[in-house]
Structure formats: C-alpha cells, structure tokens
Chain A
Amino acid sequence: MNLFSKLVNDVSRLWANYASAYLGGMWSTLKLAVVATVIGVLIGLVCGILNTIPCGKNDSLPRRVLLGLIRFVVRAYVEIFRGTPMVLQAVFIYYGLPYFSNNTLRFDDIWAAAILIVSINTGAYMAESVRGGIISVDPGQTEGAKAIGMTHVQTMVNVILPQAFRNIIPQIGNNFIINIKDTSVMFIIGFTEFFAFHRYITGVNNMYFPSATIEMIGYLTMTLVASFLLRWLEKRLDGSDNYELVSDDQLVMAAGTYSYPDRGSPFDERHKPSREAVIQEVKFGRNRGER
C-alpha cells in the first residue's frame, strides 16, 4: 500500500511538471497514426482493387500480361513490408535512401518520413484485407448491378466497395490501434511521439516506473477511444435497426409535385381485397382443381 501511494504521488508530480510534454507526445502519436492509417487504407484499397480486376481466359494477351505484372508487384510489396520489422524499414528509408542516392533523395521533414513509413506498412497489411473484403461480397451483388447496366467501375464504386469497406472496418480498427502503439519505434529516426517523451523525461529524472505508468494510461486511453469510435462508425454504416413505415401522404410531401397515376393498382397496400383476389387467381389457376 505504501509503495502504491508512493507511485500515485510520483505520477502526479511527474504529470504536474511534464503534462504538456506528455500531451504533446500523445497528440503527435495520434496525428501520425490517423494520417498513416488513412493513407495506408487508401494504399490497401488501390492494391486490393488492382488485385481483383477480373481476368479470364477470354481477355486479350496484353491485358493478361499487364494484370499479371500488377499482381506480381502488389504481391512483392505486400510480402516485403509485412515480412520485415518496421524499425528496419525506417532505417532503410530514412538513412538508406540519402546514402545510396548521394543525398538527392532525402527527407527534409521528419513528419513526411514517418508518415511514409507507417503508411506503406499499413498498406501492406490492408491490401490483403481489402482483397478478402471484396471477394467476400456476394457475387449476386455484382450481377444485380450489371443487370441494370452499371459498368465495372460503377459497380465497384457504388455497390461492392461500400460493402467491402464495411466488411474490413474491424481490420482498419486493428491497424489503427497497432499504429498508435507501433509508431513508438519511430524514435529510431528521431521522431518525437508519445513514447519518445518517456525516454527524454526519464533521462532527466530517472522516474522510470511512474513515467511508464503515465505512458500505459495514455496509450490505453487512445486505443479505447479509437475502439469506441470505430464501433460507432460500424453502427452508422449498418443503418438503423428499424425503419419507419411511410404513409402515402408523407410520400406526396416528400416527392413534391408528384401525383400517382397508379394509385388504383391492385398492389396498393390499400387495395388488399382486390390484391388477394389476383393472388388467389394466379396461385391456384383460374379453374382450380382442373389440372
């Protein structure tokens, strides 16, 4: 108990002295994670779409060669960036590019470098998720869209991708949370995010454990808020659980000047008796029992 109250005491002292540093670090971490996740998801979408362009035996040779090449490049990208640690990728990109290009390729802005590295990492992970998300949409959806005359692009944009996007929100959430935590390795290129301040502050006063406690609470707060927001987004995209029945009067108002030529059609909900009659007639035939 004594130890615990000492910890609480130290934490509050640290916080009193360095709150703005910690908060600034959290802000940098969040900004980097949000921007890199968004860009990463976009990269993943592009790769996933490129990977699912239909390609059959009937297509022309140049088209098949081109699509094969695209798939190979995407595959290589995914395997390389998924298969190596982000710390090393950061080293190679931030220090390696200038070194091997005689300083013609270098980063003047540490933010640009950090965003680039985290984005292409996220993209590599998302590419596979997006591909899976697209494939798991019922093929009937594509047929329905084609049957009303939509082109491949229109079908993708209006029907398939919105559903695929809904399918992959959990993975986007995962990647976002991983990014909040894993951006801490960006210290290797001198990017000062939340964890970097832990290193600076403990370097001054040696209060490792209290500072780590603040870091823990900080990271957990960020990830919990992220989870919550993603749940909310999922719910919103699903639409409400119930719907309002709309009466005819409301429809007239909503449709402006619209008047109903078909008001008397037998399928009007208000013409139940006549509809029943037609239904019976069709279902059982006009002269039932004759068959």
Chain B
Amino acid sequence: MADTILEIRHLSKSFGSHEVLKDIDFTVSKGDVTAIIGASGSGKSTLLRCVNLLETPTSGEILFHGKDVTGRGVNAPEYRSHVGMVFQSFNLFNNMTVLENCIVGQVKVLKRSKAEARETALRYLQYVGMAPFINARPRQISGGQKQRVAIARALAMGPEVLLFDEPTSALDPEMVGEVLAVMQHLAGEGMTMLVVTHEMAFARDVSTQVVYMNQGVICEQGPPADVLENPQRQETRDFLARFRKN
C-alpha cells in the first residue's frame, strides 16, 4: 500500500443537528480516478470540501500519505496546496487576467520566482488550450474556457490529487465536451482525481472506481463495470434507472 495517497476513515460531518455525512470510508491510491455519483443533496460536495478542509469534519480521519490532516496543529493552507480543487462555479479571480490567475498561487504559496511561475502557468495553459487567452479576464471568456483555466490554475500548483466538484454542471451543453476532454487526458496521464459528476459516460469510461452516495452514506463502491452495469443494491439501481430516463 505504498502508493495510497488519501484514506478517509469514519468521516462524519454535521451542520448543526443535520448529519450530512455518516461514517464515510474509502481510499484513493495514486492514479485512481474516483467518480462520486449520487442524487443532489446526498453530500457529495460536502465530502469533497471535507477532503480539502474547506469544511471541518465533525469526526473521523483524513489521512494524507498516512498523516491525519484533521487535527488542530495541521497547516491547512499547506495541505491544500497539495490537493487541487476545481469548482462548479469556476471561482477564477476576477481581478486578474487568465495568466495572473495561474501565477499568483505559485508565487505567493509555493514561493516560486515570477519567471518560473510564468513558465509553469504557460505550460499548463497550453495544455488546456487556453494559452492564446492569457491576457483575457474571466468575464471575457466562456464557461468552458473558464473551467479549463481553473484546471490549469490547479495543475500549476503541482497537486498530488485533483478534486472536481461537478465541473461541467454550470456549462452550456456544447462546452461540456471540451472540459471532459481535458479531464480524460489528465486521467490518461496518471493524474489522481476525485470527480463528483453526473456525466455517466465519463464515470464509465474514464474512472477506475465509482462511489455511489445516498443520503450521506456510501451505498455502493467498486469498479465502474460493477457499480454502473451490475449494481448490487436496490438504491443504486433506482438511481441509475432514474438517470437513464432523464
């Protein structure tokens, strides 16, 4: 198990008396692409936000390379710089250009030189096909382009794991493909990813592991062929059936 990156153990999260996550357990190894699926409100975003410490878990452990990151003495910003996150609403910095968005974290957090940061940023912007737009501001580019910049911004930090929270849900249908294509290419290169998604084709073809969440618990998990094509639990079957109809 030398290449285990993340271990989630007995993770629970409550907002007041509302228990949103209950005893979540799963493991992410290097190169895994974990697709998290489930109905809206089942706690998928909260799970991802706990993994990134944007929410503080109520109980349980998150082990990053074997070290618990939920304790009091943990340097959360430092940990987050190893765990990239891509949001449904992009969250690009509106006061910066595309290029500056990809540079600022490297310079301020990783203390890279301006020149080095610029080079790295350009490399990843090129990778997602956004290099020609380095001087544009977020308000001037389309949703699909914003999301590709957001991916480049996360990649420029050199993360070990990338978290995606419904990266294509806010996009017009014709832009979904360009973002999924980038993600698929990343997966092909061995990037470790945790992807909350409603794109079943992506889950089936790209992921190595599917986690189905229902009302705050992991109902079923396993290889996509098992969970998506041959689900064991009734809830999973119902969810997938509802999904196919839509």
Contacts and interface: CB of A to CB of B under 8 A. Distances in A.
A162 B96 CA distance: 10
A278 B178 CA distance: 9
Nearest to B56: A58
Interface string B214-245: 00000000000000000000000000000010
A143 B94 contact: no
A163 to B, nearest CB: 5
A20 B148 CA distance: 61
Given A258-B119, A265-B126, A140 B180 contact: no
A9 B77 CA distance: 71
B24 interface: no
A236 interface: no
Contacts of A258: 119, 122-123
A154 B104 CA distance: 10
Nearest to B173: A283
A279 B177 contact: yes
B87 A140 contact: yes
Interface string B122-157: 110011110111111100100000001010011001
Interface in B64-79: 77-79
Contact of B81 (A58, A149, A260, A283): A149
A145 interface: yes
Interface of B: 52, 54, 56, 77-81, 84-85, 87, 89-95, 97, 104-105, 108-110, 115, 118-119, 122-123, 126-129, 131-137, 140, 148, 150, 153-154, 157, 176-178, 180-182, 184-185, 199-202, 204-206, 244
7 contacts: A143-B87, A147-B54, A149-B80, A242-B140, A246-B131, A282-B181, A284-B201
Q: Which 7 A-B pairs have the closest CB atoms?
A: A149-B81, A144-B91, A279-B177, A267-B129, A285-B201, A148-B105, A147-B85
